[in-house]
Amino acid sequence: MDEELGGISEEYYDIPPVKYEYLDHTADVQLHAWGDSLKEAFEQCGMAMFGYMTELEYVQIKDVHTIEASSDDLMGLLYHFLDELLFLFSYEPFLICKKLVITEFNTQEFKIVCKCYGEEFVIGKHPQGTEVKAITYSAMQIIDDPKDNKYEVFVIIDI
Amino acid sequence: MDEELGGISEEYYDIPPVKYEYLDHTADVQLHAWGDSLKEAFEQCGMAMFGYMTELEYVQIKDVHTIEASSDDLMGLLYHFLDELLFLFSYEPFLICKKLVITEFNTQEFKIVCKCYGEEFVIGKHPQGTEVKAITYSAMQIIDDPKDNKYEVFVIIDI
């Protein structure tokens, strides 16, 4: 279907006006975290989220905050845990966490208390990664398999 | 819930190992194009797609190729039209189009013949935009309203 341009008149070089635009760009990324316990997998998942927002090697531990999350089931607990962490970053103290230590991990009453170590996000000091817009339940998976010593979580976040 | 770090022992500065990874990043963008006819809206939509792959001001008209697309309905026609254009870019001749002229636009038998003007994509000459992975039917809209002289299309492409 190729043709030569040789015989084509000048008008073909006219460029049409632009009558288009690009709308709403949406994207997501899936976090996959694991550990020697489900608790550790949750902690790692939270750190994965912060690691997406900046490069954690630039973050120092200068500050600690405690968050609590609760829900009616395990997936809800993971969701709210991450959502609380996102809140730490999105509002004062704008904390970027390099380390998370869950001090209470209650999978019967679905409650988490977590110490969050890091520092205030400072543009210039901390490379700007990708903004995390929301946690989602989409394709969420929690593998809690003590028999095979397998503890993993998969969470899709909107970016 | 703030705490001071003063009384916290050294072990709190230990950084945990990384036990997480980022999987499959997915994204999309919606193209919105319009014109004084549905034919022009289709042409503009194709140019919008190429405009996302590179900056069209760097593209010269050096070559012309003809594509054909057909389908069983109008949405299918738009889909296949864009897919043929994507194919032009993705395989030889790796054509980036700056101008599209639909020479046959049959909305009864759902057939398009289109002349595609542009040149071979050359890294270095043409800024690399975003790779278009696929056309989708997701939320596709075709507004074909001669009464109000309104011709618009909306197409989401995977990037």
Q: Return d(Cα B36, Cα B22) in angstroms, integer.
A: 45
Nearest to B23 among A32, A40, A67 (CB): A32
Nearest Cα neighbor of B120 from B81, B88, B87, B85 is B88
Report DSSP state, residue B86: H
Q: Return d(Cα B44, Cα A51) in angstroms, integer.
A: 40
Query: Would you say residue A137 has pLDDT above 50?
Result: yes
Which residue type does B158 have?
D
Which residues does chain B have with pLDDT short of 50? 1-2
Tell me how far CA of residue B126 lies from CA of A84, B70, B116, B155, in angstroms. Answer: 44, 31, 18, 24
Counting Cβ atoms within 10 Å, is residue A155 exposed (0-12), middle (13-18) or buried (19+)?
A: buried
How high is the pLDDT of residue B62? 92
- For the whole prediction, is pTM greater than 0.80? no
Contact between chains at A21 and B41 (C-beta distance less than 8 A)? no
Q: Return d(Cα B93, Cα A133) in angstroms, integer.
A: 39
Mean pLDDT taken over chain A: 90
Contacts of B35 in chain A (CB under 8 A): 19
Query: What domains, with CATH codes, occur in chain A?
Result: 20-158 (3.55.10.10)
Nearest to A52 among B15, B22, B48 (CB): B22
Q: Does B155 touch chain A (CB under 8 A)?
A: no
Count of CB atoms situated within 10 Å of the CB of A121: 18
pLDDT digits (tens, 9 = 90+) for A3-55: 555 555 667 678 888 888 888 777 889 999 999 999 999 999 999 999 999 99
Interface ipTM > 0.95? no
What does B91-107 look like in DSSP terms, one character per residue?
A: STT-EEEEEEEEEEEET
Q: Does B25 touch chain A (CB under 8 A)?
A: yes
How high is the pLDDT of residue A18? 85
How high is the pLDDT of residue B1? 42
